[in-house]
């Protein structure tokens, strides 16, 4: 199984041609600034001093007040060299720069003596950033390397206010993921199309509070991953690891195979960096191969083509009884990046990130017939050119042109006419055999999705004065989004000589019920203006963003007769969806109380247009022609491409304090007012029978407090801790919940209840220890309160209590990492996930007991009790080696 070979070949060929044409590239997207003031020993300003960022072409001269400013500095740690005739030269080592922020470095120069010598000092990154105007976490490559994580998402989920991808109580799909400053979200579901290995990350910014006007199409947060660049000297690295799930018997767990598989998880990664034959051009290339077998193994007792007689309870297994992973993921991924600085004042960057993976979902029902499951195949590539043009020392222009392409398939066989569908038929089982396990047939799931999105983003940055930096720009996108069912498989029956005969029927295009894959061409764009004002006594970041969206589609003009199927009623006709525009103001203020403490306030409007896959889902209103009394549930919820953008207004206020150079803390309280979320409304027709469709009716609010503590050095140890208390409430947790409540006879009226992910208490702690000169150990501890659920007293209609009025049990997970340096650039490492083999961590519970382990109705719940997927994955141990040559 794989995505279409021609499409993949075209994309890879285009990527290679662009790479050769570009012949290079530099950092595209996010950069930072170094600024400060240089004084002499008497505290007087030193004019005309030279400040150079060592190893780059960046630098500046001080003005008459001793002030200097260096723009467009890539994230990382640098040495800063300061020289002036009559003064000792000074080098400041380890000056850390992060994206979209200013690193201040004020120094005093000593006058030259007869025994003049260069003075070298080492900069220390403060434990808290006093000039920060909102909640933001910046992790450097060294920070990430010390964590027991593998990919970008692992890093994100450790941050304050983040619960399983939900930022500060928002729904999923409300986060903007960027690589080097440009979105890599899929317009289909507003989720990232790339997975980035930790070894490629130079810096990760996680903004969970308010964010600048530069960022849009997000209501809850922004994740910006800045990739490493090539180096001037050749360097390489390689890593290999193996591992598996290691756990004792878990009592009532039921697994087809409890054997330990020490090579069930494999990871191989290689990177190289260095100069190219082209002048002033360096490269970075990396490739990764990973194999992940889930801990639940199936026994191939049956084949999909087996013929069993359920009525007579006769089973005819023909499988080989081999133990195979029930779920798995096989992935290839890689990065190619070129950086060119051959032309004065011009930087070019080309980069390509690709990924291909084949996976199979762990579906417990197929534990004796694993070959009957559908397989998911996904190919993605995001690539393009970035250009940075400087105009003097105070102004530069960024321009990025990227293509985000993803293709996803989910089916057992690509061809809907594949004869194996006829030979096996649909998946079948009986509750009287192994709790309803599937013992014959194939999963008839068939789904295809493709997005081809070209994104153009540009910004102009100017340091108009020492205190003010202005940034303005635009972003446009015109994705082509395809998704749907590539051929429907339906069992139909007919009577032949008085005998009912079932046969498998294919529907490729039979509207309105059986539609083919549909194609949509929405258009979106934005312009923004941002001012960053930095004074000794206050920092202000103010911005304004104007966003544009056109679904480029049609809706019926009369929703009471959308299919023109009601005799005598006014006729409806297709009318264009309206263009949506929204203005979003943003403001952040940081006020230093003294040299060690500051308060900040932030406010902003954040808007997001719903995912294309949601607004267009089931959006063919011709199905209303089939509507009869009582049929509203059968036609489901109709889509609506004419919805408005969803809106969040967020406020936060915080206090931060640096107790000393190594210890700091901060406290932030926040409130989010969420409006115009997608929900369901019921539309009356002229025949008096309503139907349901999506519209902007859902709402919610979130209130919370975060506390962060960072202790850089505690002897050989360092500790960071963050705690979040939050209350996330709304009228529904997903757009279809109101419809589900109504069809179940429950109260469908909007009311505030806890969201499904309303996790009131979250505590994350990271600790590291330099146990020996060549041994580092780190641990991540996550302690969380239970998420809500709806309790029941007895089975049957009306037995439920208030929605989400009870809480699941508390959970704790501990992950460990240890690395020993062996010399000659080699090291060995150990990673342990879920070190104490925690069974339950916010998974499924029985609503009648609130426990994941037992039910009051055990006879009815035997199948659920036997299903181990309701528990958290057991202890996972990985061991590996890493070797480097040169700088990597």
Q: List, in sequence order, every residue forming a beta bridge with 121; answer none if it has no partner.
A: 92
- Residue 15: predicted pLDDT: 43
Which of 88, 122, 156 is at the close of a domain? 122
Which of 227, 242, 277 is at the close of a domain? 227
Q: Are residues 38 and 99 in the same domain?
A: yes
819 occurs within a structural domain: no
176 occurs within a structural domain: yes
Question: Per-residue pLDDT tens for 239-283?
Answer: 999 999 987 655 445 444 557 788 999 999 999 999 999 999 999
CA dihedral 702, 735, 152, 10 (to 10 degrees): -150
Q: Are residues 154 and 200 in the same domain?
A: yes
794 occurs within a structural domain: no
Q: Are residues 98 and 144 in the same domain?
A: no
| Token reading at 777 | 């150990």
Q: Tell me how many domains the chain contains.
A: 2
Q: Are residues 110 and 178 in the same domain?
A: no
* DSSP one-letter string for 387-404: EEEEETTTEEEEEEEEEE
- Residue 750: predicted pLDDT: 64
Q: Are residues 112 and 51 in the same domain?
A: yes
User: Helices (DSSP H) in 132-255: which residue ranges?
Assistant: 141-145, 152-156
Q: Are residues 168 and 104 in the same domain?
A: no
Burial class (CB in 10 A: 0-12, 13-18, 19+), 251: exposed
What angle (nearest 5°) sits at the alpha carbon of residue 439, between those of residues 435 and 444?
A: 110
Alpha carbon distance 185, 189 (integer Å): 8
Q: Are residues 167 and 116 in the same domain?
A: no
Structural domain of residue 105, as residue ranges?
32-122
| Residues of the chain falling short of pLDDT 70 | 1-29, 113-117, 248-258, 500, 628-633, 749-750, 795-800, 859-860, 887-888
Q: Are residues 223 and 174 in the same domain?
A: yes
Alpha carbon distance 545, 406 (integer Å): 28
111 occurs within a structural domain: yes
The phi and psi torsions of 21 (rounded to 5 degrees) equal: -70, -40
614 occurs within a structural domain: no
Query: Of the candidates 532, 757, 606, 589, which has an alpha carbon nearest to the alpha carbon of residue 208?
Result: 606
- Residue 141: predicted pLDDT: 86
- Residue 480: predicted pLDDT: 98
Q: Are residues 100 and 149 in the same domain?
A: no
Q: Residue 162 is part of a domain; what is its CATH number?
A: 2.170.130.10
Q: Are residues 88 and 52 in the same domain?
A: yes
Q: Residue 73 is part of a domain; what is its CATH number?
A: 2.60.40.1120
284 occurs within a structural domain: no
Q: Are residues 139 and 187 in the same domain?
A: yes
Q: Are residues 150 and 94 in the same domain?
A: no
669 occurs within a structural domain: no
- Residue 116: predicted pLDDT: 57
- Residue 867: predicted pLDDT: 87
Which of 101, 122, 143 is at the close of a domain? 122
372 occurs within a structural domain: no
Q: List, in sequence order, every residue forming a beta bridge with 589; answer none if it has no partner.
A: 540, 601
* DSSP one-letter string for 26-43: ---S--EEEEEEEEETTS
| Token reading at 686 | 């002229």
């Amino acid at each position: 199984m794989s995505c279409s070979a021609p499409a993949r070949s075209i994309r890879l060929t285009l990527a290679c041609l662009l790479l050769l044409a570009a012949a290079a590239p530099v950092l595209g997207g996010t950069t930072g600034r170094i600024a400060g003031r240089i004084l002499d020993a008497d505290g007087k300003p030193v004019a005309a001093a030279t400040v150079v960022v060592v190893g780059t072409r960046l630098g500046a001269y001080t003005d008459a007040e001793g002030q200097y400013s260096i723009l467009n500095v890539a994230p990382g740690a640098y040495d800063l060299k300061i020289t002036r005739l009559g003064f000792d030269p000074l080098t400041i080592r380890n000056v850390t720069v992060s994206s979209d922020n200013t690193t201040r470095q004020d120094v005093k120069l000593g006058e030259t003596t007869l025994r003049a010598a260069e003075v070298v000092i080492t900069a220390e990154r403060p434990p808290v950033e006093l000039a920060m105007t909102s909640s933001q976490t910046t992790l450097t490559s060294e920070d990430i390397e010390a964590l027991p994580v593998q990919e970008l998402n692992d890093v994100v989920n450790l941050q304050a206010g983040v619960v399983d991808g939900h930022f500060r109580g928002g729904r999923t799909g409300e986060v903007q993921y960027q690589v080097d400053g440009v979105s890599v979200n899929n317009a289909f579901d507003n989720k990232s199309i790339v997975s980035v290995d930790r070894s490629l990350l130079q810096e990760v910014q996680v903004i969970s509070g308010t964010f600048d006007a530069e960022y849009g199409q997000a209501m809850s947060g922004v994740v910006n991953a800045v990739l490493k660049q090539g180096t001037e000297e050749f360097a390489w690295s390689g890593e290999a690891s193996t591992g598996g799930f290691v756990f004792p018997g878990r009592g009532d767990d039921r697994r087809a195979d409890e054997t330990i598989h020490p090579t069930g998880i494999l990871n191989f990664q290689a990177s190289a960096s260095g100069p190219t034959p082209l002048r002033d051009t360096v490269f970075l290339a990396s490739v990764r191969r990973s194999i992940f077998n889930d801990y639940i193994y199936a026994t191939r007792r049956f084949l999909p083509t087996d013929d069993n007689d359920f009525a007579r309870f006769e089973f005819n297994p023909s499988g080989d009884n081999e133990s195979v992973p029930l779920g798995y993921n096989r992935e290839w991924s890689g990065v190619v990046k070129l950086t060119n600085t051959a032309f004065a004042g011009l930087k070019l960057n080309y980069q390509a990130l690709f990924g291909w993976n084949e996976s199979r979902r762990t579906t417990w029902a197929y534990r004796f017939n694993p070959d009957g499951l559908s397989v998911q195949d996904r190919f993605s590539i995001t690539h393009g050119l970035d250009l940075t043009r400087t105009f003097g020392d105070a102004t530069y222009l960024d321009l990025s042109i990227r293509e985000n392409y993803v293709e996803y398939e989910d089916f057992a066989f690509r061809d809907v006419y594949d004869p194996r569908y006829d030979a096996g038929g649909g998946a079948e089982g009986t509750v009287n055999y192994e709790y309803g396990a599937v013992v014959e047939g194939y999963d008839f799931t068939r789904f295809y999705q493709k997005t081809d999105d070209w994104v153009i983003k540009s910004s102009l940055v100017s340091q108009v004065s020492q205190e003010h930096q202005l940034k303005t720009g635009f972003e446009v996108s015109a994705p082509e989004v395809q998704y749907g069912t590539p051929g429907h498989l339906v069992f139909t029956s007919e009577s032949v000589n008085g005998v009912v005969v079932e046969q498998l029927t294919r529907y490729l295009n039979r509207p309105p019920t059986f539609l083919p894959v549909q194609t949509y061409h929405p258009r979106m764009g934005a312009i923004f203006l941002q001012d960053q004002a930095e004074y000794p006594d206050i920092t202000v970041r103010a911005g304004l963003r104007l966003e544009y969206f056109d679904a480029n589609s049609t809706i019926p003009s009369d929703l009471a007769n959308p299919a023109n199927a009601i005799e005598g009623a006014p006729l409806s006709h297709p009318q264009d969806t309206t263009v949506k525009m929204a203005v979003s103001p943003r403001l952040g203020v940081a006020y230093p109380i003294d040299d060690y403490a500051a308060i900040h306030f932030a406010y902003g409007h954040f808007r997001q247009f719903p995912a294309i896959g949601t607004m267009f889902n089931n959006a063919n209103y011709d199905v209303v022609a089939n509507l009869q009394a009582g049929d509203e549930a059968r036609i489901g919820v109709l889509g609506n491409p004419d919805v408005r953008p969803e809106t969040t207004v967020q406020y936060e206020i915080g206090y931060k304090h640096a107790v000393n150079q190594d210890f700091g803390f901060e406290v932030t309280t926040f409130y989010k007012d969420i409006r115009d979320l997608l929900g369901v409304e019921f539309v009356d027709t002229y025949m008096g029978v309503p139907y349901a469709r999506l519209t902007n009716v859902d709402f919610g609010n979130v209130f919370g407090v975060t506390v962060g503590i960072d202790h850089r050095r505690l002897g050989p140890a360092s500790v960071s801790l963050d705690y979040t208390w939050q209350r996330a409430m709304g009228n529904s947790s997903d757009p279809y919940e109101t419809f589900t409540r109504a069809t179940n006879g429950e109260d469908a009226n909007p009311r505030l209840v806890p969201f499904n992910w309303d996790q009131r208490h979250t505590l994350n702690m990271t600790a590291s220890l330099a146990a020996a000169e060549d041994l580092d150990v780190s641990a991540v501890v996550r302690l969380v309160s239970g998420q809500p659920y709806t309790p029941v007293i007895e089975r049957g209609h009306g037995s439920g209590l208030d929605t989400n009025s009870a809480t699941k049990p508390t959970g704790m997970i501990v992950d460990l990492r240890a690395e020993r340096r062996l010399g000659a650039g080699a090291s060995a490492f150990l990673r342990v996930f879920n070190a104490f083999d925690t069974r339950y961590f916010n998974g499924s519970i029985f609503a009648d007991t609130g426990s994941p382990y037992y039910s009051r109705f055990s006879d009815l719940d035997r199948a659920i009790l036997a299903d181990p997927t309701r528990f958290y994955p057991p202890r996972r141990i990985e061991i590996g080696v890493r070797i480097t040559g040169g700088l990597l």
